Amino acid sequence: EALRQLEDHWDTFVTKEHLETLAESGINWIRIPIGYWAFNLTDDEPFVNGQVPYIERILGWAQETGLKVELDLHGAPGSQNGYDNSGHRVTPEWLHSRTNVDRTLDAVRKMTQLAVDWEDAVYGIQILNEPSRWKWPVSDILEFYNEAYDIVRSMTNDVYFVIHDTFLGPNEWSTLVSSNWTNALMDTHIYQMFDNYIITLNETAHIDMVATMAENVTRFDRSSIGVVVGEFSAATHDCTKYINGLGRGSRWEGTLEYVDHPLCPFENCTCTGDYGSDYTGFSDHYKRFLRRYIDSQLSIYDRELAGWFYWNFRTESAPEWDYMLGVEQGWIPKFSRTAIPMTSDEESEISATDLVS
């Protein structure tokens, strides 16, 4: 039954028409998150595989529509961070077992083979999403990065080799990078709703915080490795269903574990209206704020970095996380570079670096 439901999801959630719409909106690179179980799965693991044919179908569509693709290993055996987005909300055990590491590298190898087979479409390999620096020494993570680099480069020199910053600040990113790497990118994720202080800020402060959070990112020495904002969104609250995990509540309403009072910037903190799941109930004021908030992010990520991915390209009921809905409703610019003042001549000469998850 799980396979049946997943196959229905894989068959319908991403279509060629969606990719065509993204391309028409100015997007030129998409990121496909993939769990390791798509490539190797043991009988005692609670996962379902069968994804690869659907991934290859997307690669074919991307090739036809002119989109480039980053393949992103989003979950590793044993969980690299303990988050549900790794496949399991558990105490992470990834680097505690050489078997886990070998299985992760096997998934990297098989993803790289997809890149070789679809060389006209695949532009990057993200070897692992969000490994936790709180669980393992950065030196151990770098050792894995180097092993993965050797595998990718033994198969192709053409794709970007993409690593995650492990939630280190930019001042410490150099500890994650080897000097002999070529064609490499650092992936950093910038959100404003997963912090107990930042979520209390008002709209003006959220917009000001964009520049504050990006300041050290833009100052990082990018001569040896480029930087992409691999995830961001229009959301400044955590009301979205399951955003903190299944059944975990929200900071906004004060129902999240270890939060003893509502943390929204208002007296009445409810996940309704502008902060609910029905965008038709959004006020004009809130939609204008969303546009200013997105413009302030794109004016930095698009102009000063190697590019960005918006999380996500579409959703079922999370308006601020839905790129296509944002474009349709006007709080995301159809062509992202309209967020930056340019002359018409400049716009015609610059090749966009827009990315979307």
Q: What is the pLDDT along the chain (357 residues), one digit of tens a residue?
A: 999 999 999 999 999 999 999 999 999 999 999 999 999 999 999 999 999 999 999 999 999 999 999 999 999 999 999 999 999 899 999 999 999 999 999 999 999 999 999 999 999 999 999 999 999 999 999 999 999 999 999 999 999 999 999 999 999 999 999 999 999 999 999 999 999 999 999 999 999 999 999 999 999 999 889 999 999 999 999 999 999 999 899 999 999 999 999 999 999 999 999 999 999 999 999 999 999 999 999 999 988 999 999 999 999 999 999 999 999 999 999 874 433 333 334 333 333 333 333
> Residue 256: is it exposed, middle or buried by C-beta count within 10 angstroms (0-12/13-18/19+)?
middle
Query: Cα–Cα distance between 207 and 211 in angstroms, integer?
Result: 8
Secondary structure (3-state) at 60:
helix
231 among known catalytic residues:
yes
Among the listed residues 70, 231, 253, 320, the single catalytic one is: 231
- pTM attached to this predicted model: 0.92
Q: Which of 70, 130, 253, 320 is catalytic?
A: 130
Helices (H), the chain: 2-12, 16-24, 52-65, 98-117, 138-155, 203-219, 284-304, 323-329, 344-349
Active site residue 253: no
